[in-house]
């Protein structure tokens, strides 16, 4: 059959729309790399510090770009304006000059913003993060059953690269800390009731204690233990209401009124998640009163009214699959995990953007 015959009754406009759709997805990485470039150059910070919309000439001058490359900055910014990171505003109406202004997204990329997401951008788009995607089809057909696409690309698991490579580890922990600051603010502002009646909480995998510090600052009645691998918390100084403990969550989790699992379970298989949840259940059930486990994770499909949000949730699911052979889960999949780990019930308390806060009860 001639290839054209396979198009059936498709009109010329339908064929061209199909081609445009394919091209858009092939080259969508360009949006990501332009964003990475803007963050590396500090463009959001320059515009923020300028105090008003910044003309192309002012931006080129502040970036110390060669004059012969000024047109390249213009083209970079054109993409970023189109994708919603910046907008054009009038600077001088008399001579019709326009300048680049921040949008809500780029304000969140200003590095001195307490809730900045800037540290999340660069590590997600570094070559060590992007290379595993080149191996996805090979990994799916791999008979040797290498645990993850990341390991096929790099020869070691993702966590091992984070541990061995100081630069990779630094970027990763900075990214996680920046996200924790934002989530801690949102949890404190919108989900404060989740900590009512509690006197102690253990933040499992809490790293340098960003969420733990936010919790103890926002809720003076609470004591928080940040629980992570010994090499992560070794030497970290706590306070009267914030302490750091090293250990293995698959063996034992320190007892408390509540266990917090923020972005932990999506890293692991169902079997490993059940182990973590069982250890968490033991930790909140062995002090003469029954506590709860607080999970902050994506619930796939809970944003059915927002196509873009659902797409991003699916992107995260693929990211977990490629890097760790983990997964994001639907509410039905979460419920099965909770039941299999021996919990009696759960409640989705709040939607935190792409993620949700879930209370689960022994």
Task: Kindly list the catalytic residues.
Answer: 266
List, as one string, the DSSP characters of 178-236.
HHHHHHHHHHHHH-GGGGTT-SEEEEET-TTTHHHHHHHHH-TT-EEEEEE-HHHHTT-
Contact residues for 178 (Cβ-Cβ < 8 A; gap 6+): 115, 116, 117, 118, 119, 120
Contact residues for 346 (Cβ-Cβ < 8 A; gap 6+): 334, 335, 338, 358, 359, 360, 361
Nearest to 120 by CA among 178, 184, 54, 50: 178
Contact residues for 194 (Cβ-Cβ < 8 A; gap 6+): 187, 294, 349, 357, 359
Nearest to 219 by CA among 244, 189, 239: 189
Rounded CA separation 185/273 (Å): 26
- Token readout for 66 is 């060669």
**Contact (CB, 8 A) for 31 and 83:** yes
**Contact (CB, 8 A) for 121 and 36:** yes
Distance of CA 152 to the CA centre of its chain: 23
């Amino acid at each position: 059959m001639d290839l054209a015959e396979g198009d059936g009754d498709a009109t010329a406009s339908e064929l061209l729309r199909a081609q445009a759709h394919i091209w858009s997805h092939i080259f969508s990485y360009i949006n990501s790399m332009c964003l990475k470039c803007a963050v590396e150059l500090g463009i959001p910070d320059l515009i923020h510090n300028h105090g008003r919309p910044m003309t192309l000439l002012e931006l080129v001058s502040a970036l110390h770009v060669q004059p012969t490359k000024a047109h390249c900055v213009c083209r970079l910014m054109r993409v970023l304006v189109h994708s919603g990171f910046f907008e054009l505003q009038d600077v001088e109406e008399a001579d019709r000059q326009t300048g680049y202004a921040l949008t809500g997204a780029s304000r969140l990329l200003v590095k001195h913003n307490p809730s900045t997401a800037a540290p999340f951008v660069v590590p997600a788009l570094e070559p060590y993060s992007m290379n595993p995607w080149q191996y996805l089809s090979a990994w799916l057909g791999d008979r040797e059953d290498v645990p993850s696409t990341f390991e096929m690309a790099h020869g070691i698991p993702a966590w091992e690269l984070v541990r061995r490579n100081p630069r990779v580890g630094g970027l990763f922990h900075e990214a996680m800390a920046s996200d924790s600051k934002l989530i801690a603010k949102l949890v404190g502002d919108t989900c404060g009731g989740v900590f009512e009646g509690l006197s102690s909480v253990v933040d499992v995998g809490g790293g340098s204690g960003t969420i733990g510090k936010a919790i103890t600052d926002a809720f003076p009645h609470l004591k928080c233990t940040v629980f992570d691998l010994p090499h992560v918390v070794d030497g970290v100084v706590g306070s009267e209401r914030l302490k750091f403990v090293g250990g293995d969550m698959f063996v034992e989790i320190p007892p408390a009124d509540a266990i917090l699992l923020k972005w932990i379970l999506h890293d692991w298989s169902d079997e490993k998640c059940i182990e973590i949840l069982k250890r968490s259940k033991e930790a909140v059930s062995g002090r003469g009163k029954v506590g709860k486990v607080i999970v902050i994770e994506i619930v796939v499909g809970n944003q059915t009214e927002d196509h873009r949000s659902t797409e991003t949730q699916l992107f995260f699911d693929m990211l977990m699959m490629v890097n760790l052979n983990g997964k994001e889960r639907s509410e039905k999949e979460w419920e099965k995990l909770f039941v299999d780990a021996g919990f009696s019930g759960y409640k989705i308390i709040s939607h935190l953007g792409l993620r949700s806060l879930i209370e689960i009860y022994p």
